[in-house]
Amino acid sequence: MTNLDRDLLAAHAAGDTSALVALYAQAAEAANNTDQAAFYLTHAHVFAMEAGHPDTPALRQRLIDMGRECPLPAPNPPLR
Amino acid sequence: MDHSTTDLSNVRRPIETANGLPNGHYIDAGIFEEEKQAVLFDNWAGLAVAADVPEVGDAVPVTFLNMPLLIVRDKLGHVRVFQNTCRHRGMILVEEPRKIEGAIRCPYHSWCYSTDGRLVSTPHVGGPGQNTHDGIDRALLGLIEIRSHIWMGVIFINVSGTAPAFEDAHADLLARWSEFDKPLYHGGAGSSFQLEVNCNWKLAVENYCESYHLPWVHPGLNSYSRLEDHYHIEAQGRFSGQGTLVYRQLTGENGKTFPDFENLSDKWDTAAEYITVYPNVLLGVHRDHTFAIVLVPEGPEKTVENIHLYYSAAQTDPDLRARNTEQWKQVFAEDVFVVEGMQRGRHGPSFDGGRFSPAMDGPTHMFHDWVASQLERHRSAPQAAE
């Protein structure tokens, strides 16, 4: 098991979303191919969205640029 | 019991000869289900209060008539009500009250929703690392939103989506209490309390609507608020309740009172009114505070009453607030033996729904008549066939 794997497991166990964003982004950088990178970037993006992390728009744009994600839809008005 | 056979004709007669709703409407699980749709889902039912989600991102899961719902204050500050169910595999999204910092992430496969309900991510839906798929149209798969409206601090929902707009359905009540259409400040944690009562939710309404019981059940009121100081409030098919002409403000030891709501007319110097917004919200207004009681039906013979007190200013005297809470808690607790007693009484098989005092029970009969009208509408509709 690599250090990154250990750190990811620890972050999952701790529910440390901010660390998960950083570690999955790091995993994407270290990936051997585009599919693997997209997989890890997806996780970084999901946890970033959940946390309202400031990197969320940039992570999403990277996935869009890779053809793996689409832009956000327009906001919905409340149903009254 | 075949609930389609309950005879409501006696309920709909003039009060002088009317009976109340038959026993089954208080004790029968099948009729409870029928009323759930006809009375509670097809109208604007009270669910909770906006103060339950005071800050942006606050999310509170609730179960209402077995429906898992999620109350959210979205990023723009709007209160919304969603089904608390992921559109993917039906997983419950939020288990405990919490703050949504960014998106609502399903704990199962991590589909993500914005706080306004949009489906914003479907990770790996097209295979590993591919987050879109032609067969998954996110625009059609946002959270299922329940129609909602906030008034007097209460979150009303129309589950069926078929009721007229809230402002139209309750236009005359909104006009009647337009002087209270201003910011209401929830008194905080000490200004909420809950009562669990072993009765059908309608009995709490019926008791609330009339002043007849006050001298017997609330003898403490006799000292200044006599039966003859009260009047009926009756709007057929819409709302009913009672008012008093001798409301007296709570006064602290130093003579301090709560500040009044601004620009009230002279009537409210001594008047107070207590109205049921059909079906299940009990409201009270006074010159210096209001309250809301949301009746949450938990079954044919169990109801949770969520009570909230509101003031005209964000900052009011905490000791006085505590006394006011205690005072209302005592009054509402005095009603418990009545509603629970009426519930047990409805297991008497020969009870015929009872009779009404033509002089004193008008607002209560009006509620019975309205419930019966909703059931008749539901039974006559094609979709009522079961």
pLDDT per position as a tens digit, B268-319: 999 999 999 999 999 999 999 999 999 999 999 999 999 999 999 999 999 9
Cα of A7 to nearest chain B Cα, Å:
21
Q: B245-251 contacts: CB < 8 A, separation 24 or more?
A: B245/B270, B245/B271, B246/B270, B247/B271, B247/B272, B247/B286, B247/B287, B248/B224, B249/B286, B249/B287, B249/B288, B250/B288, B250/B320, B250/B323, B250/B324, B250/B327
**Residue A33 domain flag:** yes
Cα of A76 to nearest chain B Cα, Å:
6
In B, which residues are within 8 Å of A41 by CB distance? Answer: 129
Q: Minimal Cα distance from B73: which residue of A?
A: A78
Q: Report the 10 Å Cβ neighbour count for B66.
A: 9
Q: Do A38 and B105 touch (CB under 8 A)?
A: no
Angle of helix A17-29 versus helix A34-51 axis, rounded to 10: 160
- The tokens for B297 are 């039906």
Q: Is 0.90 exceeded by the ipTM?
A: yes
SS (H, E, C) B274-297: EEEECCCEEEEECCCEEEEEEEEE
Give the model's pLDDT for residue B221.
75
Q: Which of B339, B357, B246 is nearest to B293 (CA)?
A: B339
In B, which residues are within 8 Å of A39 by CB distance? Answer: 124, 128-129
SS (H, E, C) B154-216: EEEEECCCCCCCHHHHCHHHHHHCHHHCCCCEECCHHHEEEEEECCCHHHHHHHHHCCCCHHH
**Residue A72 domain flag:** no
Q: How many CA within 13 A on the CB side of residue A53? A: 22
Contact yes or no for B321/B338 (Cβ under 8 A): no
Q: What is the DSSP letter of B92?
A: B
In B, which residues are within 8 Å of A69 by CB distance? Answer: 121, 131-132
Q: Is B315 exposed, middle or buried (0-12, 13-18, 19+ CB in 10 A)?
A: exposed
- The tokens for B210 are 């009339």
Q: Does B128 touch chain A (CB under 8 A)?
A: yes
Query: In whole angstroms, what is the distance from residue B296 CA to residue B280 CA?
Result: 8
- The tokens for B123 are 């990770």
Type of residue found at B363: P
Q: Do B132 and A78 touch (CB under 8 A)?
A: no
**Residue A26 domain flag:** yes
Q: What is the DSSP letter of B62?
A: E
In A, which residues are within 8 Å of B74 by CB distance? Answer: 78
Q: Does A4 touch chain B (CB under 8 A)?
A: no
Q: Do B116 and A76 touch (CB under 8 A)?
A: yes
Give the model's pLDDT for residue B14.
97
In B, which residues are within 8 Å of A43 by CB distance? Answer: 123
Q: Does B162 touch chain A (CB under 8 A)?
A: no
Chain A interface disruption, residue of B111, B120, B159, B170, most A CBs within 10 A: B120
Could you list the residue range(s) of the whole structural domain that residue A61 is in?
3-65
Structural domain total, chain A: 1
pTM over 0.90: yes
3-state DSSP call for residue B110? coil
Minimum-distance CB partner of B123 among A37, A42, A51: A42
Q: Report the 10 Å Cβ neighbour count for B227.
A: 15
Which tens digits make up the pLDDT trace of B242-266?
Answer: 999 999 999 988 899 999 999 999 9
**Residue A11 domain flag:** yes
Backbone dihedral angles phi then psi of residue B162, each to the nearest 5 degrees: -105, -10
Contacts of B309 (CB under 8 A, 6+ apart): B186, B187, B191, B192, B289, B290, B291, B321, B324, B325, B328
Q: Which of B102, B108, B67 is nearest to B84 (CA)?
A: B67
Strands of the sheet with B104-105, listed across from one edge: B104-105, B112-113, B119-121
**Residue A76 domain flag:** no
Q: Do B102 and A75 touch (CB under 8 A)?
A: no
In A, which residues are within 8 Å of B146 by CB distance? Answer: 79
Chain A interface disruption, residue of B83, B122, B130, most A CBs within 10 A: B130
Per-residue pLDDT of chain A (80 residues; tens, 9 = 90+): 799 999 999 999 999 999 999 999 999 999 999 999 999 999 999 999 999 999 999 999 999 999 999 999 999 999 99
Domains of chain B: 3-42+171-379 (3.90.380.10), 47-151 (2.102.10.10)
Query: In whole angstroms, what is the distance from residue B65 CA to residue B69 CA?
Result: 10
Per-residue pLDDT of chain B (386 residues; tens, 9 = 90+): 444 579 999 999 999 999 999 999 999 999 999 999 999 999 999 999 999 999 999 999 999 999 999 999 999 999 999 999 999 999 999 999 999 999 999 999 999 999 999 999 999 999 999 999 999 999 999 999 999 999 999 999 999 999 999 999 999 999 999 999 999 999 999 999 999 999 999 999 999 998 889 888 988 876 667 888 999 999 999 999 999 999 999 998 889 999 999 999 999 999 999 999 999 999 999 999 999 999 999 999 999 999 999 999 999 999 999 999 999 999 999 999 999 999 999 999 999 999 999 999 999 999 999 999 999 999 998 764 44
Cα of A3 to nearest chain B Cα, Å:
23
Minimum-distance CB partner of A76 among B103, B142, B149: B142
Contact yes or no for B240/B282 (Cβ under 8 A): no
